[in-house]
Amino acid sequence: MAEELLHQPHDKFFKKTFEDPLAAAAFLRGHLEGDLVKFTDWSTLKLAGGSFIDEHLQAFEADLLFTAKLHGEDAQFYILCEHQSSEDPLMALRVLSYMVRIWSAQVKSQTGRPRLMPIIPVVVAQDKKAWKTTARFHDLFALSPDKWEEVRAFTPDFAFRLLQLVDLPYESIQGTPAGVLTLRALKAEPLGKLLSAEVWEPSLLRSVPIELLKYFIRYTFNADVDRTAFETKLKELLGPDLTQNSMTLADQYRQLGVEQGLEKGIEQGIEQGLFRGELKALHSLLFDVLEIRFQSVPVGLRNELSLIQDAQKLSELHRRAIQCATLEEFVAAL
DSSP conformation class of 136: B
pLDDT (0 to 100) of residue 260: 53
> Above 50 in pLDDT, residue 256?
no
pLDDT (0 to 100) of residue 166: 93
Residues 308 and 173 in one domain: no
**Which run of H or E residues covers position 69?**
strand 61-70
DSSP conformation class of 51: -
Task: Provide, rounded to the nearest whole percent, the portion of the chain with pLDDT above 90.
Answer: 40
Domain-embedded: residue 140: yes
Residues 298 and 312 in one domain: yes
pLDDT (0 to 100) of residue 241: 46
Mean pLDDT confidence for 130-153:
88
Residues 186 and 118 in one domain: yes
**Which run of H or E residues covers position 73?**
strand 73-82
* 243 vs 224: CA distance, rounded Å: 25
Q: pLDDT category, 267, cuts 50, 70, 90?
A: low
Residues 54 and 170 in one domain: yes
pLDDT (0 to 100) of residue 264: 57
pLDDT (0 to 100) of residue 252: 46
Residues 145 and 269 in one domain: no
* 176 vs 305: CA distance, rounded Å: 21
pLDDT (0 to 100) of residue 247: 43
Q: Which residues constitute the domain of residue 306? A: 276-332
> Above 70 in pLDDT, residue 245?
no
pLDDT (0 to 100) of residue 327: 85
Residues 244 and 260 in one domain: yes
Domain-embedded: residue 267: yes
Q: Work out whether the CA dihedral 269, 272, 277, 280 comes out positive or negative.
A: positive
Task: Provide, rounded to the nearest whole percent, the portion of the chain with pLDDT above 70.
Answer: 84
> Above 50 in pLDDT, residue 4?
no
Cβ atoms 116, 99 nearer than 8 A: no
Q: pLDDT category, 321, cuts 50, 70, 90?
A: confident
pLDDT (0 to 100) of residue 3: 44
pLDDT (0 to 100) of residue 326: 84
Domain-embedded: residue 112: yes
Domain-embedded: residue 206: no
Mean pLDDT confidence for 139-160:
88
Q: 10 Å Cβ neighbour count for 33?
A: 8
At residue 259's C-alpha, the angle toward residues 257 and 261, to 5°, is: 60
Q: What's the distance, Cα to Cα, between the start and end of the chain in Å?
A: 31
> Above 60 in pLDDT, residue 253?
no
DSSP conformation class of 209: -
Mean pLDDT confidence for 85-108:
91
Q: 132: Cβ–Cβ under 8 A, 6 or more apart, which residues?
A: 87, 89
Q: Is 200 exposed, middle or buried (CB count within 10 Å of its CB: 0-12, 13-18, 19+)? A: buried
> Above 80 in pLDDT, residue 156?
yes
Domain-embedded: residue 207: no
pLDDT (0 to 100) of residue 306: 82
* 190 vs 213: CA distance, rounded Å: 20
Residues 74 and 134 in one domain: yes
pLDDT (0 to 100) of residue 322: 79
> Above 50 in pLDDT, residue 67?
yes
Q: Is 87 exposed, middle or buried (CB count within 10 Å of its CB: 0-12, 13-18, 19+)? A: middle
* 138 vs 73: CA distance, rounded Å: 27
Residues 172 and 158 in one domain: yes
Domain-embedded: residue 204: no
The residue from 244, 259, 274 where one domain ends is 274
The residue from 131, 164, 191 where one domain ends is 191
Q: pLDDT category, 13, cuts 50, 70, 90?
A: confident
Residues 169 and 239 in one domain: no
Mean pLDDT confidence for 206-229:
83
**Tell me: the pLDDT tens digits for 20-42?**
999 999 999 999 989 999 999 99
**Tell me: the pLDDT tens digits for 192-209?**
999 999 999 988 888 888
* Spatial CA neighbour of 83 closest among 194, 184, 187, 6: 187
Domain-embedded: residue 111: yes
* 67 vs 308: CA distance, rounded Å: 33
Q: pLDDT category, 246, cuts 50, 70, 90?
A: very low
Mean pLDDT confidence for 264-275:
51
Residues 141 and 9 in one domain: yes
| Secondary structure (3-state) at 88 | coil
Domain-embedded: residue 280: yes
- Number of helices followed by number of strands (H, E) in the chain: 17, 5
Cβ atoms 317, 331 nearer than 8 A: no
Residues 140 and 166 in one domain: yes
Instruction: Specify which of 173-187, 233-247, 277-291, 302-316 reaches the highest per-range mean pLDDT.
Output: 173-187
Query: How high does pLDDT run on average in the chain?
Result: 82
Residues 155 and 50 in one domain: yes
Task: Look at the chain and report how many structural domains it folds into.
Answer: 3
The residue from 236, 257, 274 where one domain ends is 274
> Above 70 in pLDDT, residue 277?
no
